[in-house]
Structure 1
Amino acid sequence: MTEKKKVVILYGGRSVEHGVSINSAKNIYEFIDKDKFEAIAIGISKSGKWFLTKGVSKNIEEGKALSILLDAQKPGFVIAGNEERFNVDIIFPVLHGTDGEDGSIQGMIKALDLPMVGTGVLGSSLSMNKIVAKRVLESAKLPVAKYMTFHFTQREQIKFADIKKKLGIPFMVKAANLGSSVGVNKVKKPADLVKALDDAFKYDDEIIVEEFIKAREVECAILGNNPPQASMPGEIVISKKYEFYTFDAKYVDPEAVRIEVPAKLTKAVAEKIRTLSVKAFQALRCEDFARVDLFLSGNKVYVNEINTIPGFTNSSMFPMMWKERGIGFSELITTLLTIAQDRYDKGKRIERSFSSALKF
């Protein structure tokens, strides 16, 4: 009998999306194929402490405190108190937002030389920062909304009239490095801008201001590498009581949205969305999986952003779009773990030493 692979489901984290991470991780823990994998839940508290937990729980600090063995030859974890050590085979980060989706955790896992599901350091950091991502997408000749950027040190120089002249009204103000619509506001008048800047700068030193595009919200799921595959697009139809896709609309209000998978699109538009999504995934150096968010205005498509660790909650689009393609939740998790392990194995061909006459 083949020994089960030990899979760490890493969740929680020091992020405003901490709760969303827990909900996503619960589903992965529940639906992972127990015949093939041994799931190990490790939670990161809001203060940044790591714990081994019984299943995925919001009460992370009730688990056993952990430390990490910083040894790339034999990486593993140690349970505080009894010094019990355990090793793992692969890590599945289900950490949304700051410290989990921006390359930080990915860099640590890479330094430990452990296989990991999802995009690595470069792609994660590029994709997480909305400003850098826009610039990379532009350089790849992909369509994006018009935008302006500002640093906290420029706060007093940000003028409503200047933004209105370049972007029109209304416009959107966003923190550069957050997801789930946290730190995002729609601005119609000068008073709105003051509140929007207060909110965005509360979470980040950089903000991005974008033109508001009246459009359909469509998403496309990407899976695999060389070449990545695109699902059929899905659409998020937002209730008229919301002016845009807010945090509450995403996660709190069950009546806020209607999800259509696949979206009602012409074949030509659907293929355009799929093609642009794959190009965005590749341009931002993503790996294994991602969800691309786009706007559809008439027949014109804009790439909005890319999510390198998309949600796995019951209302999340990524698993729903693959279910429509015939890939259920358990099979999807197995596929992701297989893809990640294969990428890691192929990466072993890269040399880490160089022989020379240098004396030291």
Structure 2
Amino acid sequence: MAASTRSLSPMESLPRELMWAIIEYATETVFDLRLASSLLKSHVDDYAVQRRIVGLVEKMDMISEVTWMEIKLFVRTCRASLLELRYKLLDHHEELIPEDCENARLSRTFFHRPNYVIAVYREPAKWLQNLPEWIGGKAKIVRIEQIHQTQFPFETHVIALLDQIRTKKLKFTNYVDDDFIHHLLTTHRLAQLEVLSIALRTMTDPKKFLLYLSEHVPAVQIYQILDRAISDTVPYFLGMRDFDWAPTFLEMCSKKLDKLSIVNLGLTDFLPIESSEQLRKRLPYTGKGIWFEASCTNYEQDKKYVENNHQLSVDSRDIFGNFVSVKHTSRIDEKFDNDVDITR
């Protein structure tokens, strides 16, 4: 036994935990390490298929078309080899996307970074059921976009995946079914969620919905989707006309939420000067460092000053109109952006 041990290289002699730490530090080398020796190959493979592997997918997009759906996985360059190895090693990888499958396709593309695209043409549930395990059950950002009404239950597949994939940032864009968003967010577990961005047209009870979100999510962004049927001369937000939203926004910021962005570009009169002034006077005194920004009625001139360690301003942004903002001085440079730099 001693002779056998002496024949091992220094790296091969390392304990498994230390070997795994090295693999974690240099995941881009997993395929090279597997070629070094059978023992190192065993270490790498054991590491690659562990259930609690983290940081494989930075961002996952779920996009629906009329007759098919697409899953895009955005991966850091240094993690791409590990994701590919995990795909090959999992027992069910051939069931995920068989090579001769005409109903689904997995491809890898490069545009500054490795991306993996799963296009599903029939029976999405069959091809997506093993996806959560492949990517380690986590994605830092999940973006859901329904471009068209589909011929299959897209919402069902979204719920099924989100039940198995934990994420800190969730974003809905161009969504056509506001009732589904309401159902998903009021029934889905939000405990792990840190950032939520939603594009909405209307809500049955928008005030109740927003207050619910503010109890569970620290950062919320709401985009008002414009509807041609809505007159731009009527103050409007989430289905309500001539409603004073300032008290609701103040109540939201008194709960778990401390970062709120409201984008209502075509209907800025929903937040008149009186409401903007009420927010600017009271938000700096909530007892926490607030980051608040909302579309608002045009002011005659821009205003900017500091009160109780919060910068208060009304800024004109060309075609985007005016925004009233109240931001703690430590958070002035923060942006409300759900994307991350994954070029490395």
TM range (shorter): 0.3 to 0.5
TM-score scaled by length of structure 2: 0.32
For CA contacts below 8 A with separation 6 or more, give which structure has more relative contact order.
1
The structure with the larger Rg is 2
TM-score scaled by length of structure 1: 0.31
